[in-house]
Amino acid sequence: MASSNFLSSPISIFSPNRILHNTKTPFFPLNHNCRSCHVVASVGGIFPVDPWAPGMVVDSQSIASELFAFSLFPYLGFLYLMTKSKSAPNLTLFGFYFLLAFVGATVPAGIYAKVHYGTSLSNIDWLHGGAESLLTVTNLFIVLGLMDGLRKIKSSDANTLDEEKKQ
């Protein structure tokens, strides 16, 4: 098996166990006979990217999109618990829900930028600015709601102190 192929046999990209054969890595000297040298790696799981596949380029974009999609589930759990606790001011809670509008607008804007301009959303100023303005509005809702909540706490504390002084 003196072939310089990367893989010893063609295997599906999403195969759970890959048997790899590579004679050009620093781990094997160039004159080393690799007939018995195979590396077994387990891939798959959450990331459908195989970093050892020939022709596959593992870049931050492919991993970032997977992490972005996965991060939605903990955020939805956060929203559920925040709503259920009824401890957050209404405007703040609305702000956290409004963040989903930012996500909902950013994904299609990113696709539009890639299809029509051939680049990422961050390189198209008018699209990127529009998407980021939704994030700014989200932050305003959250902060204004928290300020209102603090104001209500201060006024209720002042009312309690006034009632205690009257008694």
Q: For position 39, what pLDDT does the model report?
A: 40
Amino acid, single-letter form, for residue 73: F
Residue 39 exposed, middle or buried by CB count within 10 Å (0-12, 13-18, 19+) = middle
When pLDDT is cut at 50, 70 and 90, the band that residue 162 belongs to is confident
When pLDDT is cut at 50, 70 and 90, the band that residue 35 belongs to is very low
Task: Quote the pTM value.
Answer: 0.58
Confidence check: pLDDT of 99 > 70: yes
Q: For position 89, what pLDDT does the model report?
A: 94
Q: For position 68, what pLDDT does the model report?
A: 76
DSSP-based helix, strand, coil % in the chain, nearest 5: 60, 5, 35
Q: What is the mean pLDDT of the chain?
A: 74
The 10s digit of each residue's pLDDT in 47-90 is 455 554 555 555 666 677 777 778 889 999 999 999 999 999 99
Q: For position 69, what pLDDT does the model report?
A: 78
Confidence check: pLDDT of 165 > 70: yes
